[in-house]
Amino acid sequence: MDKDILTIPEAASFCAVDRVTMWRWVKSGGLKVSVTPGGHHRILKENLESFLIDCGMYPLATKSFPRNRVLIVDDDLMIRKTLSQTLFNYKYETETAGNGFEAGIKTVQFKPDLITLDLIMPGMMDGFAVCRYLKNDPTTSGVKILILTGYDTEENRDKIMEAGADDFLVKPIEVDLLIRHIEVLLGGKSGRKHHGSVGQ
């Protein structure tokens, strides 16, 4: 259904619930609605999406509403968790990988629109190798790669951009700056405002 404003029956059908359930959500005050001069209720699709996510119905929301996918590749578990939660708050669908080998597998399985990629990781495939591998493969070359690293040297910047990376940010990264760079790379818009930093 390609509509931005939904009636109660349309919203119920969109979420695969009955009208009674939809009315319960509206009357609880959790789901924002507008009332026309004729007394009819209308729901903005973006408000419905936010409500579903806030209520923990994330799988339903991702099924009903298309969203950009971001694969987070970093050997630091805390950074993976922080980035995943941050991007979830901005309504991105996320998956994580802890090393280069796992990143290759997850890219094929998850089919991300963008990858945030750490440069220095354990194992045979560091960020440089992952970037070259993905950009040289015709099936993954179109995936945007945003480097997030604490190792900011001119040599690293030159090497990773030559490998095909699309953008480069240095940790710790302000969340608003991160989201702006992701939006530019994907040509889209994010959801709610959030302040803080990632990778400290």
What are the residue ranges spanned by the domains of the chain? 5-64, 69-198
pLDDT band at 123 (very low <50, low <70, confident <90, very high): confident
CATH architecture of 69-198: 3-Layer(aba) Sandwich (3.40)
Average pLDDT estimate for 38-63: 74
Q: How confident is the model at residue 190 (pLDDT cuts 50, 70, 90)?
A: very low
51 near 31, Cβ under 8 Å?
yes
The Cα-based distances of 5 to 14, 36, 46, 169 in angstroms read 12, 12, 9, 37
* pLDDT at residue 144 in the model: 96
Cα–Cα distance, 164 to 136 (Å, whole number): 9
Spatial separation of the C-alpha atoms in residues 43 and 186, rounded to whole Å:
27
pLDDT at 24 over 70: yes
Architecture of domain 5-64: Orthogonal Bundle (1.10)
Please give the C-alpha separations between residue 67 and each of 87, 96, 138, in angstroms, as whole numbers. Answer: 11, 16, 23
Q: What is the pLDDT of residue 19?
A: 85
pLDDT at 34 over 80: yes
- Whole-number Å distance between alpha carbons of 112 and 42: 33
pLDDT per residue as tens digits for the range 76-120: 999 999 999 999 888 898 999 999 999 999 999 999 999 999 998
Tens digit of each residue's pLDDT (9 = 90 or more) over 142-179 = 999 999 998 888 999 999 999 999 999 999 899 999 99
- End-to-end CA distance of the chain: give it in Å, rounded: 42
Per-residue pLDDT at 26 = 87
Question: Looking up tokens 């996918």, which residue turns up?
Answer: 69
Residue 195 structure tokens: 């302040």
Residue 129: its H or E element: helix 127-136
